């Protein structure tokens, strides 16, 4: 392997390691210091510039034979077809859901925090702000937590670090059953909808969507479907296991939702004196 390639890999490894350290230690401030901002932007650019299999980097100094070249070409064609299908699905979603959105590409996802956060290639210069919802063509994915000029960090619904709950409703015919999405069961691969009254009768397969009462999420965004219902430990409320509609395993493109009404609510809440026991999101 050439020395330049080794040096490049060492630099990238150090940058990623430093990024992970910052991600673990900074908490959920919503704003970033200048070094943190440069770090997220730098890592995102590196990831997007070198959006190729690692094997290609190691083979940079070798002239590929015809079979290897064909395999690499086929891999690129498969990736382009996948991205094309994903973009078509996003376009159809936007037609069916006339919301003001910002399309973005995922440029970084930490292997150590796979279920927690991703970085996209849109930032404050594109109109992205903290707390904005993020969706795919299948439904709700998460929300913006940190923003730089050109990059943004997204907290996924599967994040196990906690955070504000999401006001959601189960669509039960003409009625709606209100609850709060809080947490994710890694074993069952389901979101947890808490505070559901024992008198409610949710059924498997019913849709779960965001509530209009949320101060972050517009109402009606699909979260998933009811998978299982249990009584909580105190036997006074029900816990509904919600199978997410969005896939958290593999996606390349997302949309950030710009909702003027929710932005005004956020500005109003920021003007109020801070207190204990704030409203669930």
Query: Could you give the domains of the chain?
Result: 1-157+247-272 (2.40.10.340), 166-244 (2.40.10.350)
**How far is Cα 124 from Cα 107, in angstroms, rounded to an integer?**
16
**Is the CB of residue 145 less than 8 Å from the CB of residue 134?**
no
Q: What is the pLDDT of residues 154-208, one digit of tens each?
A: 999 988 666 678 999 999 877 889 999 998 998 999 999 999 999 999 999 999 9
Other Cβ atoms less than 10 A from the Cβ of 44: the count is 24
What are φ and ψ of residue 43, in 5° steps? -65, -40
**How far is Cα 52 from Cα 54, in angstroms, rounded to an integer?**
6
Q: What is the mean pLDDT of residues 137-151?
A: 92
**How far is Cα 94 from Cα 74, in angstroms, rounded to an integer?**
30
Best CA proximity match to 169, nearest among 122, 135, 218:
218
Q: What is the mean pLDDT of residues 238-252?
A: 90
Q: How confident is the model at residue 73 (pLDDT cuts 50, 70, 90)?
A: confident
**How far is Cα 144 from Cα 153, in angstroms, rounded to an integer?**
6
Beta strands in the chain (DSSP E): 100-108, 117-120, 133-136, 139-147, 152-156, 166-172, 175-185, 190-197, 207-210, 222-231, 237-244, 253-258
Residue 228 above 80 pLDDT? yes
Q: What is the pLDDT of residues 14-67, one digit of tens each?
A: 555 545 554 544 444 555 555 555 555 555 555 555 444 444 444 445 555 777
Residue 259: what pLDDT?
A: 79
Q: What is the pLDDT of residues 87-105, one digit of tens each?
A: 666 676 666 666 788 999 9
**Is the CB of residue 154 less than 8 Å from the CB of residue 145?**
yes
Q: What is the mean pLDDT of residues 209-233?
A: 89
Q: Give the CA diameter of the chain.
A: 69
**How far is Cα 197 from Cα 84, in angstroms, rounded to an integer?**
43
């Amino acid at each position: 392997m050439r020395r330049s390639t080794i040096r490049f890999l060492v630099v990238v490894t150090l940058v990623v390691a430093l990024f992970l350290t910052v991600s673990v230690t900074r908490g959920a401030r919503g704003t970033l210091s200048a070094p943190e901002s440069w770090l997220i932007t730098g890592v995102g650019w590196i990831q997007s510039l070198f959006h190729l299999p690692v094997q290609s980097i190691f083979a940079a100094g070798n002239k590929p034979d015809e079979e290897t070249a064909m395999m690499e070409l086929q891999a690129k064609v498969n990736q382009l077809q996948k991205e094309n299908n994903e973009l078509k699905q996003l376009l159809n979603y936007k037609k069916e859901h006339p919301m003001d959105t910002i399309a973005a590409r995922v440029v970084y996802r930490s292997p150590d925090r796979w279920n927690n956060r991703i970085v996209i290639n849109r930032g404050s210069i594109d109109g992205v702000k903290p707390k904005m919802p993020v969706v795919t063509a299948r439904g709700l994915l998460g929300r913006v937590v940190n923003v730089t000029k050109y990059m943004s960090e997204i907290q996924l619904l599967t994040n196990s670090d906690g955070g504000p709950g999401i006001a959601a409703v189960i669509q039960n015919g003409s009625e709606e059953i209100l609850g709060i999405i809080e947490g994710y069961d890694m074993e069952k691969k389901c979101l947890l909808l808490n505070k559901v009254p024992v008198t409610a009768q949710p059924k498997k397969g019913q849709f779960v969507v965001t509530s209009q009462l949320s101060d972050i999420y517009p109402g009606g965004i699909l979260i998933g479907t009811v998978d299982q219902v249990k009584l909580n430990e105190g036997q006074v409320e029900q816990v509904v296991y919600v199978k997410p509609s969005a896939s958290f395993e593999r996606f390349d493109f997302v949309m950030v939702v710009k909702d003027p009404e929710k932005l005004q609510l956020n500005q109003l809440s920021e003007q109020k004196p801070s207190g204990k026991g704030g409203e669930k999101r």
